[in-house]
Structure 1
Amino acid sequence: MKVPILKFFVLRFWFAGLLLAVSGVATAGMPLFVLNSLDGTVSVIDPEQGREIKRIPTGKEPHHLYLTPDEKSVIVANALGDSLTFIDPRTAEVQRTVTAILDPYHLRFSPDMKWFVTAANRLNHVDLYRWNGSELTLVKRIPTGKTPSHLWIDSKSTTVYSTMQDSDELVAIDLATQTLKWRIKTGALPADVFGVPGDRLLLVGLTGGDGVEVYDVSGPAPHLVKKLLTGLGAHSFRAAGDGRHVFVSNRVANSISKIDYLTLEVVDRFPAPSGPDDMDISADGKRLFVASRWAKKLTIIDLASRKVVQQIPVGKSPHGVWTLDHVPRQ
């Protein structure tokens, strides 16, 4: 039986759209979450409408958030609230609250999905939890340097790296033995840390300085390889999704720099207003979302023109920014 040409193409595109929806590839329209640290709330942004559609109360001082391995929950870490708020990343509905998690400032799951790690910023320790798919069990509390800030875990799930904001250090924790492997002095106020694919190099943002330090951590002892000048207050990283570049926000310089982590060179820099902090990037790679910490706004930057195209009012001291509809993390 012959099918009319127009009907054939209609059916073909309908079927292609159905496959995308079933496979989970189509994530357009997913909400964007902005953590308002001084309000104890989460702003839920509709990226297509370009406005806040909901505000969720959490515990005190939510700073960072992370997706569970099954992608059914995004966990908001409430540092001063000593709690975790689980939110559906698709519907923005609160699922549950887990209490008695001491000072969860930063958080991360290991790639093998067995470990959940938190950095206690005000209490000077890193906590290692076992994750069974739904519940957390504290395995070890490890005293560190002063003010543990951001975490990274290598691709083999063997080592946790954490910056020490006020003792100016980078430390490594062995997950098998739950002990400190080494520590090394860094520049002033190290904040976010980003692992280059291959696990050999780590980038460390210096919020008290003007750039990013690169460390070789492949041997028994780490060593500084290079310093990249990005701008005053280098703070937070977000991978560009192309397997080659990563963005860093320069909170004092009010700019964002783009680093080629294969050549270890700064290849671009553009303005970002009012204390740019955490970032995310839309799945199509066209828009960068950044918290403007001092302006109580989420700033949207068009990456092709490198210009601000919109600012959306949110709560006080916006920090973590995240959406399920993002580019690949490496």
Structure 2
Amino acid sequence: MAVAVFGLQFFGVSAQAPASAPAPVFVLNSLDGTVSVIDPVSWTEKKRIPTGKEPHHLYMTPDEKSVIVANALSDSLTFIDPRTAEVQRTVTGILDPYQLRFSPDMKWFVTVANRLNHVDIYRWDGHKPTLVKRIATGKTPSHLWIDSKSTTLWASMQDSNELVTIDLATQTLKSRVPTGTMPADVFGTPDDKTLLVGLTGGEGVEVYDVGSGTPRLVKTISTGKGAHAFRALGDRKHVLVSNRVANTVSQIDYTSMQVVAEFPGPSGPDCMDVSKDGKTLLLASRWAKKLTVIDIPSRKVVRQVSVGKSPHGVWTLDHAGRN
């Protein structure tokens, strides 16, 4: 078992913004190595925060005290205050963090090394990660999901077309099953019985029964070419999937596993977030260097905000529920 504690670099944190002020929207610009900070009232970019090389995903800690940017080529994590947009600290020595996720109980912090073909499992003490186990996987691990009990991790393998299951308590790889072409994001239903996998190399979403151990494919939902990233609407019934090639976003009812609505998704739609009131969809238009804002009730694009090159992750503190 490998054990390591990684270095931290601390920066000053400004005073808290007024409680009544809406939290900013963060858009990660992968090719610029920056994060755009967007004012959700004026819909203007207020500043850009330098991070590290090739940041691809960001994630909010379960206590919502930090937004973490994973800088894959810099082997580092940038922690940002989700309300003041000030850098809190940088954690170094995290090897190739491409995508990241916390267990709901905050005991585990997991990253995938997209170019190095492994999953890293860390213990989390509320401030810093300590490496517990590095697990060799299939080729090009892409996205993660952890169940609500913080016991099981699933990860997609983008180039070996697999879904792997890892037991967090023992840090062991329990199973691997074949998937369709280029599996990307994964989403688990609140009851921990079903897992959805987006097929970026295909035209839809695979549905797996994970309630009784090894994942079992039960259905494929046709959504559009390049099904990629998920975001729940927060009503514990619907989840959105961005179809990067089709330039659409599909709304799936995960109680019936049917597509029930479709939204425009201009210029390579990627990661998304949903406003707390469930009325606004925030979408990274990756090929246009834009944040696209969509009115959910009317299913129409209402504005676009210019950001940096290859916008990827989108996150805000004022968000709808993640299930």
TM-score category, normalised to shorter length: over 0.9
Structure 1 partner of 2:8: none
Distance in 2 separating the partners of 1:270 and 1:49: 23
Query: 1:286 and 1:59, CA in 2 relative to 1: closer, same or farther beyond 3 A?
Result: same
Aligned-pair CA distance for 1:140: 0.2
Query: 1:226 and 1:218, CA in 2 relative to 1: closer, same or farther beyond 3 A?
Result: same
The answer (yes or no) to whether the contact 1:27–1:324 under 8 Å persists in 2 is: no
The answer (yes or no) to whether the contact 1:211–1:231 under 8 Å persists in 2 is: yes
Structure 1 partner of 2:308: 315
Structure 2 partner of 1:217: 210
1:34-71 residue CA offsets vs partner (Å, 9 max, x unmatched): 00000000000001111100100000111111112332
For residue 165 of structure 1, the aligned residue among 142, 154, 158 is 158
5+ residue gaps, structure 2: 1-18
The answer (yes or no) to whether the contact 2:82–2:317 under 8 Å persists in 1 is: yes
Q: Counterpart amino acid of 2:123?
A: R
Structure 2 partner of 1:50: 43
1:196-229 residue CA offsets vs partner (Å, 9 max, x unmatched): 1111100000000000000001123221010000
Aligned pair 1:300/2:293, yes or no?
Answer: yes
Q: How does 1:76-91 map to 2 (within 5 A)?
A: 76-91=69-84
1:101-128 residue CA offsets vs partner (Å, 9 max, x unmatched): 0010100000111000001101000000
Q: Counterpart amino acid of 1:86?
A: F
Structure 2 partner of 1:20: none
Q: Counterpart amino acid of 2:200?
A: T
Which consecutive segments of 4 or more residues in structure 1 shift more than 4 A? none
> Which range moved further: 268-277 or 244-253?
268-277
1:162-191 residue CA offsets vs partner (Å, 9 max, x unmatched): 000000000000011111000000000000
Distance in 2 separating the partners of 1:140 and 1:126: 8
Structure 2 partner of 1:202: 195
For residue 237 of structure 2, the aligned residue among 230, 237, 244 is 244
Structure 2 partner of 1:92: 85
Q: Counterpart amino acid of 2:84?
A: T
1:247-286 residue CA offsets vs partner (Å, 9 max, x unmatched): 0000000000000000111111121100000000111111
The answer (yes or no) to whether the contact 1:28–1:325 under 8 Å persists in 2 is: no
Structure 2 partner of 1:3: none
The answer (yes or no) to whether the contact 1:119–1:126 under 8 Å persists in 2 is: yes
5+ residue gaps, structure 1: 1-25
Aligned pair 1:133/2:116, yes or no?
Answer: no
Aligned-pair CA distance for 1:27: 6.5
Equivalenced residue count is: 305
Q: How does 1:1-330 map to 2 (within 5 A)?
A: 29-330=22-323
Distance in 2 separating the partners of 1:168 and 1:50: 39
Distance in 1 separating the partners of 2:145 and 2:21: 28
Q: Structure 1 or 2: larger helix share?
A: 1
Structure 1 partner of 2:10: none
Distance in 2 separating the partners of 1:243 and 1:312: 29
The answer (yes or no) to whether the contact 2:165–2:214 under 8 Å persists in 1 is: no
- Cα RMSD of the aligned pairs, angstroms, is 0.9
The answer (yes or no) to whether the contact 2:233–2:239 under 8 Å persists in 1 is: yes
Q: Secondary structure at the match of 1:263?
A: coil
Distance in 2 separating the partners of 1:226 and 1:82: 37
Q: Secondary structure at the match of 1:80?
A: helix
Larger radius of gyration: 1
The answer (yes or no) to whether the contact 1:302–1:308 under 8 Å persists in 2 is: yes
Q: Counterpart amino acid of 2:313?
A: G
TM-score w.r.t. length of structure 1 = 0.91
